[in-house]
Structure formats: structure tokens, C-alpha cells
Structure 1
């Protein structure tokens, strides 16, 4: 790095969210410097599923196909299995179609109820380098590893950030018009802004509001009855490889192998790399744990193993009080942390990155008003709170399973078979919504956003966690559908706003208003009865992040007011 440099946007943190934000900014032609305090991409397997909505956004960025090349092969089905241990008895299973099968189903159904892209199984250890490789081909992005944010000063025109290199002991200054902290749960950016965190305490008032208090108390009693130390909220992670075939094939190709004892083993590549997460009991000294023995004890026997990473960690359910202000903004784990159940951490962050990226580009290009940034903070915080509630719900289901008296499940006698049968029935009845909550993934809406135009007709469709009802209600992600000529409608959306015209309507006033304000607008004419019905109106205006900004059956009577509204000038 040079002794000092200038850029439009400085992004701190090169995890998946920071990398995605840099790709989004590059898409809009915005010069970006991305810095990461670590010398390399992460070695820590923090996530293992990129959901369908995130893959739609990666398709929009032109990288979805490249990312799939490093993921689990598209012909592999996904199975979640509950078992006594890795060499014992199966209790219940949930099986899902492969990516290839999902692509076929999306085409066949074509009713807007499914995403354009299926989800993708890939470890963050693999995803980060793949995203970095894509970013390094972009002309507007500059990535520097081994540099951490020390502090920053803000003024009316921008931010001066002071960076330090731990290994070389060097310092560096970057002058940027905007600074974005994607620097994780311990975000130095957030701390310097003085922004606090709203956290759900699993033993506190908010948990009682979610109905989890009884379950937590029951789990403590169950653990004591089973001769185990009650959980203290911590988990122990062991990331390992093995050549053992029985561990890998006892229940077939399994993505998540889970036990009522509370542990989960995640297959990272369906071959030889796994991650175990298991609860720790009160008073357990994590520093004294032998990770090999820790794995052997839970999986049921000893086997060949190489430990890659092992450490204790504490799941959290937090959302920041604010997502930024002025010239400094935040995204990803810097503003929300959730339990792994549901996979909402990184995926929520991908939505943040796209939502913030186009807003920053609008500021820098001169057509966006400050209200866009206010809207970003409001919109994404609402999504973070909703996803936190969903993650807490999924955690409650797992804890409910752990409240059973599961000691007898390891017995070969009649009462062992009886226990296993009862456990399996309860697990099946509780279901596996944490991997099936399509409503959470696709149906997040910005109903109350200050830059979304209200529809005076009709009513907002209900939102459900377990289902997605396609709609173009303002603020929603619109339905994904293939047109009669085999084009995906999402692929017709431009970099700026896109006005979809399904019938002959005079839109010259709206086009002229966009030109007057410098707002980028593409008009796409579609004559397709099926898509028209799904999109519910003759005219639907799509934002750069693929959410509905306005809709109607005729051009607005005051088009300039609509354009000012969607660009944040009337907030």
C-alpha cells in the first residue's frame, strides 16, 4: 500500500459481507478499497449454507456460477439426520433435493413460489477465497490483507481512516467519502461510533416473551437427570478431517448429523472435512479440552482424525441499536449476530451488502438523497430483528429435543428401542423448519420503508416463516418467473431502477422525471400473461436491490413526486 490513498468507499473487513459489498459497489462503478486485518482468508468454518435469496443476489452480481464450482456438487442430495451417535441408531431424517433437482423443479413449477437460484452448500473457508478471486478481477476494487482499522475521524466531506499492519508495524492513511464497517461481532467501527447492542438473553425477559423460558429450565433438569452438567451457553467447535469411511457413510451422505445430546456434526464437503459443535457444561474449562477426545466421546468411537481448528464460542442473539450515521455505516455481523440455526448470519449480511451498496452508489453519483441511507438502516434492522426471532425459534426446537431423557437411547435392550422410537417421533413432529423457512429467506419486506411508495389499493399479504406467497406489494422481493421466451424475469432487471411494463401505458412522464433527477431507469416491456398475473399490476418499478419501489395500473399523476420519494428526497 502507498503511504496514503483516496477512495470513494473504504470497506473494513473482507469476510463474505465485505467482499459482497465491494462487488456491489464495483457493479455501480464505485472505486473501493477493502482491508482485512488477517493476512489471509478465514480458516474458521463459520457458515455452510448460502440460501436461495443470496444466490439470486450473487447471480445479479454475475458470480453465482463461479461460486457453485467450489461448492458441493449440484447432483448431491441434502440430508439432515438425527442419531444416537455416528455409529449408533438413526432416530429421524429430513431429506432434500439436490441443486440440479431444485433447478428442474423451479422451471417446472414456474409459479413464483420458489427462488430463481437454489441454495448452495459451501464452507466459509472455501467461499471467501472464491469471492476474493472474483473481486480481484474487478477494475474498481482494491483488496489489502494484513491491515486493521485503528481509528477514524469524520467530517462533512468524508472520513480519514488510520490503518495499522500488525506484522510489519506500519501505518497507513486512507481518505474516503464513506467508511463501512463489515468487521464482525467485535466491530471496532461500531465501537468508535458508540453504537450499542440489543441482545436477547436466553434466561431473561425477552426469552419469556418468545416462550422459551420453560424450555430452558426443562433442559437444565433433563441434563441433571442424565448425569450431565447443565449447559452454560457456550459451545465447543472442532473442525477436522478424517479418512475414516464408517464415520462418513454410516447413515449415507449426511449434511448435518445431530444428536439429542445437543451436538451437531456438519459435513463441509461430503468427503473428509467436518465441523462439530457441542454444548459445554457449567464449569468446563475449554482450555483443558482435548479436541480429539471431545469428538471421539460424542461420535461413539475412535478413528483417524486431524484437528484443523478447535475453540469455545458463545452464540448470541443481538441486533445493533443503529446501523450507522453520517459518513460511517455498518453491515453484517457488525450489526447482527444470531445462533447458527437457520443459517441467517451471513445470508442476512449479503442482503445488507446489496442494500447498502446501491444506496452508497446513489450518494456518490449525485442522484440519491440522504434519505436513502436512513432507509437502509431502517429496512435492514427490521430484517435483522425478524431473522433473530426466527433463529431463536429454531434454537428453541433444538433445546426442546434436548429436554428429553435420552440416556436410554444408547441401550440395546427393549427400553432403548422404546426411547429411540419416542425420540424419533418427537423430532419428526417438531420438524426441521430451520432448513425449510422459505418465508424468512424470500419474504422479507420493507413495508414501512420511507423510500417505498404505498399502494392505496388492496392489503399486504400475510408473512409466514414456513411459506412464501409471491407478491409485488411495495417493499417486497418480486416473484421469480421464467417468461414464455425462456428468459428469467430477474435477469431483465438493470443496475438502476427498472420499470416493468406489462400493458400499453404512457410512462413518458415517469421517464422524464427520472431524467430530470438523474435517476438511472430502464424500461422493460413484457407481454406475458402468466408473469403479468404474478406481478399484479400493469406497471411495477423495481429498485436496484430487486425490491418493489412502486406499482400501479396507470402512470402516476405526479411522477416527479414518485421519483423524489424513491430516491430518498422526501424522507
Structure 2
């Protein structure tokens, strides 16, 4: 792999190439920061570079969903994130004519408004600028702010990256064995590598106004994480105060009175002081990268998939990307996995990105329909139905989204017993499901990653997230990826094009839309699925047994597995817990470090050789020395 580069030249770059670096992380948003924490816990040496001089001052993403909170619990951060978030009662979306008018519709965010039986944690409504400092402080690896990657090339030993410090006019060159690109929707790395994208592209221009107003007491009586009105949407930013408004960018931006615009959308009969703090204009994007890997470079987060903010999927999907990837990088770097393990990253995460794009686009269209439907009612006749009687263009079933948040299913060589992976031979997968129930209803809000320009000169990328609906399970490798949605104004967004002109509305080799998929989530211990949550003690979940190792859940006493050269923890289960996972007395369940079931052993006591055969297959087909 060789890229063209404008700067720096060989003469400009520092001659001291760092040869001790395992992974260079490009991008200091929540996805890059989460990758840094995950890799450090594995003992992987990292350097993170971020072109901006500091963490983003904008709220941007608004929801940390239940799956991301499970990952943060594993990292020891869930309680700290919850401490700076809104109370659970704000896990709701309200639809109104104006902010201070009555609801004409409302829906709770599943897994945020109240606990669910399928998880030991609850999602939270919080702002990205509260999450990022916690992630930054959770690891000690070097971080260079104000440092931009300007060129990258690969040789037989790794990746060679040229870095530029724009403020000080200096340059450096670093060598790493791998590069993890989490540098956002306008990814420099993706552009340098010539990786194209597919999907609807740019859906339209949006403006966010951050302002202060005396709404705290009112909001506490009618709490919501988001209020959708016919005049734009409102979001409380922090528990102690602060608000955001966002909507389609109006004509004549330079002459817009933003305080007056916000006051009009408030619908207050009494004058209300509105103090505008910041205005940001940005583009809502909708695309997925053609490839998630190019040699030793891997894309994650918005660099891999930029999705509309409605539904809160972008950041959370990106955190899922690096949770899937980092244990694989650690295994390859530490020698207990073959390089072929990295080949499973794209087959596992690309289908998830496709489905998230599809659903986020549908959420955007749905929100536009709700707003236009109500606006038409308001303008057509003075005799309007009561707010509670407005007919809405959705059903409760449509809003169910746990199947997407918790129900991603991996089918690759890293799943022993999947269609792609090696057959488990004498052992096999069963057809039962875990004892916990299924559910669905709404989830809303929070991601980021849209290319943006800030009127105040601050960092680009979408500042705040919306909410919305959600649905299908991410199991289809082909995905329903091709339909171009309407933007918030109901018009088809223009097609986006990357620097190489390689953007399409349809994916490469699209297989057509899949059949209908359920929106509900039913926990199952089958290979490829997320391990079901069960309470092993009043405070310890099956998910808490996971860590920087494979976890073997056994139905009987813990066996001995001498000579196993993989990181392994054995977790014996009581009989009720084993039965809840459909394990007989001699059965066992092998779970990968990312919480997905890697193999299931049934019928006879598990031998070290059988376990080693499964682990060899999962980790790239080569047994470590």
C-alpha cells in the first residue's frame, strides 16, 4: 500500500522513527478514545493523534445505549458515566407543536427510561463532551492533540505515518504495526487509502444552536431527552442546565436572528431570555465505507459508517466496532492469534453498519413525516384534533430496537460452528434460547460524526444527536442498503462523493433487500450471538465474568486445561444458571472477549484437545507456540 502525500517531505520528517508502537489510533473522539482504553487493558502500546487541539466542546452525541454501557461497565466506567448523565426519567421523546405546548405523542426509550431484564445496566442520556474526558482519563497511553496525519504507507514491517503539528509547524514520522482510523465521517485515512463509500450520501444541511434559557424547572416537570416540534427539535444538554436547538439550516444564515428563531420555537406566551452561546452548521451524512480494512489499516466509527443522527446509533455502533476489533489486534500482536483473525472484522461489522445505516435513514424519514404531518394539520384548518388524537405514521412495533442494539449476530471464521466458521465436529449448537424474555419499544438519541463547519470556528462533526425509532436485527451480510431516504425537509439528499469520486447510492455487489426481520430481541446462547445476561449473584452478571480473556462457562465443576496457550478464564455455573443457558451437565459455552459466543460444546465432557481445536479455529487457524 502506497499513498500520495503533499507533506511533509522526507527532509521535513523527524528521522527518529518510533519502532515500539503497536497501534497508531487516528481520531480522538469517543470511538478512538474507547479503542485506546480497550487496547491498553490488553497491554497493547498505542499512540493516539487528534488534529484538533482539545476534546470537542460541543455536546454532539446524546445517548449512550445499553450495549455501550455494558462495554463501559467492563471498563469500570459505567458508574462514572451515569453520575454525569441525566436521571432515567429523561429517557423519553416528546412530540409537540412548540416546546412549551402539550404532547401530541410521546414514547419511552427502551433500556434508558427504565431497566430491562436483558441487561445488567441501563443506557443514559448524556452529552459527548461529558463522556470523552472520562474515556481520556481511563488510559495512560500517549495522546497528541493538534496533530494531523498527512500521509501513510505500509511496508513489510508495519505502517509508516507522517504527522504534522500545524500550530508549531513541526513534523514527525511514526511506525506502528497497525493503524486504527477513527477520524470521523470526513476521514483523512479513508481518503488517503482511496476507499470509496456507498449509501444516500449527504441528506441536507442542519444547524445547531446552543443556548441558555431558564427552563430547568419546567423541564424537570416534563422530562425528556428530546422534544421534537414543528419548528425544530430541542435537547437539554446537561443536568445543571444548557439547551440545544437543531433543525434544517434556514435561508440567509448570515442574517438569521438565532435568539428570535429559538424563542419562536419555544412557543412561550411570556417573553423568555435566550442567550445564544454557539451556532454550528453541519451536513447530515449517510454512507458506509466500501472496505473496513486495507492491509494493516482498519476503519472504525464514522470513518467506516456515517449515519443520520436520528435514533442515536452512530457513536454506539462505533464503540461496538472497536470492542470487536481490539481483542483481535491484541491477539495478533501478542501471538496467540494468527493475522487471519483480523480478516473477520469486516465480515462481522460490515453487516451491522449496513443495517444501522438502513434504520437510521428510516428514522430520519419517520421524524420528517411526523413533523410535516403535524405542520400540515396546523396550517390546513383552525379546527384541529386534540393533541392526543393526532394520527401518527408509526406503530409501537416499529419503535422496537433492542433487536438492533443487542441482537447483532456474527457469522465468520471467528465463530466456531457458524456457517463461515469451522464445524464443531462431535459437539454442536443447540436450538434453545436463554430464559430471559424478549422486548421492544423505543430507544432514542445520540451519536455523532457528520462532517460539519462551526460558525464559531470550532471542531466539525455533528454536534448533537436526535432520537427516533429503530428496528431490525443485524444478521444479514447483504443488508438492505440501497434505498435513498428523504431528508428532514422531505427531499432526496444529494449524493456524496469522496475525494476519489467513488461514492454510490448502492453498495458493491448488492444482493438486494433482505426479508423481514424481527425488531424484538430474544437472548440466545447460540454461537455468534451476544452472551445472554443472567445474574450470577445479586450484583454480578454473566457479562461481568468477561474480560481480557476467553471465558469458558461450564455446567459442572471447572475442568483442567493444561497447556492451553490462550488467555482463558473458566467460570463454573450453578445448575439453575447452566439450565438458563441451555447447558446440560457435561456442556460448556466458550465466549469471546467481546461477549459473543464463540463455541458451544455439548454431549460429553470437554477435553483440552477439543477446546484447543475450537480456539485455534476462532483465532485464525493457527495454534500459538
How far off is 1:345 after superposition? 0.3
2:442 maps to what in 1?
none
How far off is 1:18 after superposition? 0.4
2:185 maps to what in 1?
185
2:415 maps to what in 1?
452
- Aligned-partner Cα distance in 2 for 1:298–1:491: 45
Q: 1:255 aligns with which of 225, 229, 234?
A: 225
- Aligned-partner Cα distance in 1 for 2:572–2:429: 24
2:123 maps to what in 1?
119
1:544 maps to what in 2?
593
1:468 maps to what in 2?
521
- Aligned-partner Cα distance in 2 for 1:181–1:347: 16
Q: 2:401 aligns with which of 437, 449, 459?
A: 437
Deviation readout 1:12-53 (Å, 9 max, x if unpaired): 111000000000001101111111111111022221110011
2:478 maps to what in 1?
none
Deviation readout 1:407-433 (Å, 9 max, x if unpaired): 55389x9603x264542x426x54495
How far off is 1:512 after superposition? 4.7
How far off is 1:313 after superposition? 2.1
Q: 1:499 aligns with which of 548, 552, 566?
A: 552
Q: TM-score, normalised by structure 1?
A: 0.82
1:242 maps to what in 2?
213
Superposed, 1:29-48 pairs within 5 Å as 29-48=43-62
Superposed, 1:149-188 pairs within 5 Å as 149-188=149-188
Q: Is the 8 A contact 1:22 1:32 kept in 2?
A: yes
- Aligned-partner Cα distance in 2 for 1:390–1:405: 23
Structure 1 window deviating more from structure 2 (39-48 vs 559-568): it is: 559-568
How far off is 1:186 after superposition? 0.8
**Residue 290 (str. 1) matches residue 257 (str. 2):** yes
Distance 1:95 1:355, change over 3 A: closer
Deviation readout 1:257-313 (Å, 9 max, x if unpaired): 112x262111122442122221246xx244443322332232235532232331222
Instruction: Name the SS of the counterpart of 2:392 in structure 1.
Output: helix
**Residue 426 (str. 1) matches residue 392 (str. 2):** yes
Distance 1:315 1:279, change over 3 A: same
How far off is 1:245 after superposition? 5.4
Q: 1:299 aligns with which of 246, 266, 269?
A: 266
How far off is 1:375 after superposition? 0.4
Instruction: Name the SS of the counterpart of 2:330 in structure 1.
Output: helix
Q: How many residues align?
A: 512
Q: TM-score, normalised by structure 2?
A: 0.76
1:208 maps to what in 2?
none
How far off is 1:438 after superposition? 1.1
Deviation readout 1:365-402 (Å, 9 max, x if unpaired): 01111221110121111111111122122223212223
Report the RMSD for the aligned CA atoms in angstroms: 2.9
Q: 2:566 aligns with which of 491, 515, 519?
A: 519
Instruction: Name the SS of the counterpart of 1:406 in structure 2.
Output: helix
2:477 maps to what in 1?
none
How far off is 1:457 after superposition? 4.6
Q: 1:380 aligns with which of 344, 349, 373?
A: 349
Q: Is the 8 A contact 2:429 2:527 kept in 1?
A: no
- Aligned-partner Cα distance in 2 for 1:315–1:398: 14
1:209 maps to what in 2?
none
- Aligned-partner Cα distance in 1 for 2:210–2:27: 23
Q: 1:528 aligns with which of 575, 595, 599?
A: 575
Superposed, 1:46-445 pairs within 5 Å as 46-73=60-87, 76-95=89-108, 102=114, 105=115, 113-135=117-139, 138=140, 141-200=141-200, 233-244=204-215, 248=219, 252-259=222-229, 261=230, 263-280=232-249, 284-301=251-268, 303-404=272-373, 406-409=375-378, 415-416=383-384, 418=385, 420-423=387-390, 425-426=391-392, 430-431=395-396, 436-445=400-409
Q: Is the 8 A contact 2:162 2:173 kept in 1?
A: yes
Instruction: Name the SS of the counterpart of 1:367 in structure 2.
Output: coil
Q: Is the 8 A contact 2:328 2:337 kept in 1?
A: yes
1:479 maps to what in 2?
532
Deviation readout 1:531-571 (Å, 9 max, x if unpaired): 43235562100001111000021337754432221101279
Q: Is the 8 A contact 1:291 1:307 kept in 2?
A: yes
- Aligned-partner Cα distance in 1 for 2:389–2:622: 59
- Aligned-partner Cα distance in 2 for 1:399–1:494: 42
Q: 1:11 aligns with which of 17, 25, 28?
A: 25
| Structure 1 unpaired stretches of 5+ | 107-112, 203-231
Q: Is the 8 A contact 1:479 1:535 kept in 2?
A: no
- Aligned-partner Cα distance in 1 for 2:249–2:538: 56
- Aligned-partner Cα distance in 1 for 2:292–2:160: 20
- Aligned-partner Cα distance in 2 for 1:121–1:326: 37
1:110 maps to what in 2?
none
- Aligned-partner Cα distance in 2 for 1:512–1:343: 45
Q: Is the 8 A contact 1:44 1:309 kept in 2?
A: no
Structure 1 window deviating more from structure 2 (261-270 vs 343-352): it is: 261-270
Instruction: Name the SS of the counterpart of 2:373 in structure 1.
Output: coil
Q: Is the 8 A contact 2:179 2:297 kept in 1?
A: yes
Distance 1:33 1:277, change over 3 A: same
- Aligned-partner Cα distance in 1 for 2:111–2:240: 16
How far off is 1:201 after superposition? 5.6
